[in-house]
Structure 1
């Protein structure tokens, strides 16, 4: 299993599992699917994302596609990007996910499912086959899904590390980064590299703090501790969990895995690690 997943680091190997001609179903394992079904489902590859050739849109075949087949692009967009709790009662999200072939997706052929696995992930293959046939007969639906996905508003990341791919560096800054890589820790602390890209000064500061914290001034050390607290305790920086959300997720997993001794042991260890981080502090704790 490890060797198979290791091969999927190659995006051509991953793309080879996603049939965009016959759209043959494939198994997909991801944290986006419920833990009680092994985070695994049977998906139908639909179409490549219009502006990202590394993203293949797939449909979760556990879900009946019939309610979605006639929906217009605007409605499909809302069903894709509105949270379930924000949708009107009785209305469900469109069960389409993006599989990034350049991010080592966990994919496997359908024929790897044996009876034990079918029972373990609680999947109804007959229902999946019916849903597959419905989708196969509605190729225009796939196009509308791609158009709906393409209408996402691009929101630049607020944190510099999440914004690494928001734009390319110019030649002058690339040359400055070559000087950064060649500089000693002490030189990094005393040199103004005069970057043009506004992301780079903060990235350089974090590079120094993570690798050579002894070179930080008292003011820089305070700034670094403040950043660490915000990131760990408050979940600053995009999709990172704060300590409260972390604890809530562990509590949820305890309910889902009740009676599972091995899961309880792992969750106890995760709880202990969270507690070791100490009390959550806010920015005010570092001021003055």
Structure 2
């Protein structure tokens, strides 16, 4: 293992949620385990639940997957502010590498959004005071593609393609995984998979552990010479073993965390023709991606490696046409004017603007003044001190602050605020929406009529909906 400071720790964590949208859906359960650098557990595991606010209905299918009902978490869980505060206490410890299984794309996005909604800095937890993050699923994909020996690889039913489901990988490698989609069980299983990877492929494991850091990645990215690289990502699909051969082109003009690269299995000549004919601004990148452009977020622990980790004789098995590969590299290196045009076009991209404050995490980064406001306001929220004015709040922070108070501490709203909150709840939880939701749950009841556990969960959900409907009317 790469040497770290003596107080370095890993924090394995996982959420269960009431849906899959990180900004609009809500968490239901959190669990974490802290280990030393050798994966020895050094602290008591943490597990706690979170109940949803009254302006939100859980996804019924998610409840059937996790087995966690909103009535259960209402009885045994915390409101989202207190839930987030507990998580923040775990994450803020210095020199912590925070990791999970598919956490970069899923759990970390939920973390950022609940931190944003509840007046915690949405980003500092992952980099400040020597902290970092990592994702065991991405390392597992790299292991399968580049150095598969030593791991038993499960395959999808009636297929030659591997399964990277945590439950399947655990089963095939004799890892105890008592209950899939239980946060604490998933955390223990992820820890065991990490141990397995480190034991069976130590060089690969240590290399990608070191390169989880943006500073280390920048050392191996050579834009000036357009040095090709290996990029392991689900984006490329199982036919290519999730492996892409890419050429770095330039840094995104509006976000220096984004490396703009080209997929060398595509034809760069076709992209040149498309790029030359672009006039004005673009509203989405779909046509860019279709023609081979790739955005790689270097602050999201991408799996990047030198091209020589795969021998040329094996290129064909990854879908590489070597002649096209060399032709593309030559075109990219010799068409400097195209880089300039690409930079201008991408720089003029029209970003989607959302009216819903819950969706505005990425619309605009927090300014320095807003970061200070977040810290000040958080302290008042923690003390439940709402009987003072907050003239320093920006418009965005005012809306966020009101929703945070109303969702977590509705009993502390004044009479005027209660009227505003009631109107808002009635606008998002209309009779039509409630009726449609009840019909959806009722249909699931019919489909699951022979599954006793699911029937209990769905009936409990209907009781929850009726109670929420009453609360909205009485709010």
TM over 0.5: yes
Change (3 A) 1:193 1:80: closer
Q: Distance in 2 between matches of 1:61 and 1:76?
A: 25
Change (3 A) 1:188 1:228: farther
Partner of 2:165: none
Partner of 1:233: none
Q: Distance in 1 between matches of 2:232 and 2:429?
A: 31
Is 1:96 the equivalent of 2:289? Answer: no
CA shift, 1:65, in A, is: 1.0
Which of 326, 341, 350 is equivalent to 1:153?
Answer: 350
Change (3 A) 1:169 1:22: closer
Partner of 2:331: 134
Q: Deviations over 1:22-49 (max 9, x none)?
A: 1111122334433443333111001122
Change (3 A) 1:128 1:208: farther
Q: Deviations over 1:111-141 (max 9, x none)?
A: 2225898576444445323322232232222
Is 1:10 the equivalent of 2:202? Answer: no
Q: Distance in 2 between matches of 1:135 and 1:80?
A: 25
CA shift, 1:206, in A, is: 5.4
Q: TM-score when scaled to structure 1?
A: 0.60
Asked whether the equivalents of residues 80 and 94 of structure 1 are also in contact (C-alpha less than 8 Å), the reply is no
Q: Specify the SS of the correspondent of 1:59.
A: strand
CA shift, 1:181, in A, is: 2.8
Partner of 2:259: 56
Q: Specify the SS of the correspondent of 1:58.
A: strand
Change (3 A) 1:150 1:182: closer
Partner of 1:258: none
Asked whether the equivalents of residues 11 and 102 of structure 1 are also in contact (C-alpha less than 8 Å), the reply is yes
Q: Distance in 1 between matches of 2:391 and 2:283?
A: 43
Which of 247, 250, 254 is equivalent to 1:44?
Answer: 247
Change (3 A) 1:205 1:60: same
CA shift, 1:13, in A, is: 1.5
Asked whether the equivalents of residues 282 and 349 of structure 2 are also in contact (C-alpha less than 8 Å), the reply is no
Q: Distance in 2 between matches of 1:215 and 1:117?
A: 65
Q: TM-score when scaled to structure 2?
A: 0.39
Change (3 A) 1:157 1:18: farther
Q: Deviations over 1:95-124 (max 9, x none)?
A: 112222233222122122258985764444
Asked whether the equivalents of residues 56 and 99 of structure 1 are also in contact (C-alpha less than 8 Å), the reply is yes
Gapped runs of 5+ residues in structure 2? 1-138, 140-204, 431-439, 441-453
Q: Deviations over 1:137-186 (max 9, x none)?
A: 32222222222212211333434354345154474x65554443323646
Corresponding pairs, count: 234
Change (3 A) 1:228 1:29: farther
